[in-house]
Amino acid sequence: MKSKYILILVLILITMPVCAKEKNVDKKLTELEKHVIENKGTEKPFTGKYNVHEEEGTYTCKRCDAPLYRSSDKFKSDCGWPSFDDEIDGAVKRVTDADGRRTEIVCTNCDAHLGHVFLGEKYTSRDTRHCVNSVSMNFVPVKTGQKRETAIFASGCFWGTEYHFEKKKGVISTRTGYTGGTTKDVTYEDVCSGTSGHAEAVEIVFDPMVISYEELLKLYFNTHDPTQLDRQGPDVGTQYRSEIFYENEAQKKTAEKLIKILKDKGLNVVTVLSTSGKFWEAEKYHQNYYRTKGGSPYCHIYQDKF
């Protein structure tokens, strides 16, 4: 019995520094930053460096560098603190104050205190104001802050798949193509024959400071039927299969998490997860098809599944 407790203690000691490293909360803070971030204080109004700040970029957590807000969601409220009417998806957590009167906002990643959120003030169409302390944030301007990551999704006809992603904020570029097969220098005719093993897919280059891979995945699942095997609507064949080609283990785990959520909701998801490989760009007339030709997809209708 004693050895069991010793083993548990050793495991705790081993995992503690890992957790601290993951959340990156070992930064040295000034006394004012500690007062606000750790002790849930408030900086004096109209004194924060980001109160009047209009540069384009991303506001990140002072303690762990997690992206919190986009400059495009910042607005002038004259309240004395930076104001935002939206946050980056999943970046901010809302917690009711101990007195039950206000709603505190904290960084989802490290629980750093940011400020409070208020509703019903009619400042913007979103009717939401995140009142944030400047000392709780850093700022990454676009010219130095833009990063690029890639996502590759197959969900039926690539015209419809691309239609939804190319309009999404944070997506830098899209291109249709073929992947997941066995032949080289593949063409549209090869893929249509069903003998090349390729799927019609879309390669998406995005800025993770603006839109997360999880947000893209949710759009992917919400714009096709992941329960249909080797088809999507009237398009039938293995080239129209539902498949995610992940770039790394983080992308794979995120996909597995969302698939589990959908399965727990009762959906018989048949989406396949595969490591990404060679992506063959489709012919020019397949690129940005609906944007060029007009119209909208016939089998990629948005439906919120989450």
Longest dimension (CA), the chain: 73
Q: Which residues contact 140 (CB under 8 A, 6 or more apart)?
A: 57, 58, 59, 60, 209
Q: How far apart are CA 254 and CA 273, in angstroms?
A: 11
Q: Which residue has the tokens 């500690």?
A: 34
Q: How far apart are CA 75 and CA 273, in angstroms?
A: 41
Smallest CA-to-CA distance from 136 within 186, 81, 179, 175 is with: 81
Q: How far apart are CA 174 and CA 152, in angstroms?
A: 10
Verify whether residue 299 is a known catalytic residue: no
Q: How far apart are CA 267 and CA 230, in angstroms?
A: 16
CA atoms 225, 231, 235, 239: torsion sign: positive
Tell me which of 107, 157, 192, 299 is the catalytic residue. 157
Verify whether residue 64 is a known catalytic residue: no
The end-to-end CA distance of the chain, in Å, is 45
Tell me which of 61, 107, 131, 299 is the catalytic residue. 131
Q: Known catalytic residues?
A: 131, 157
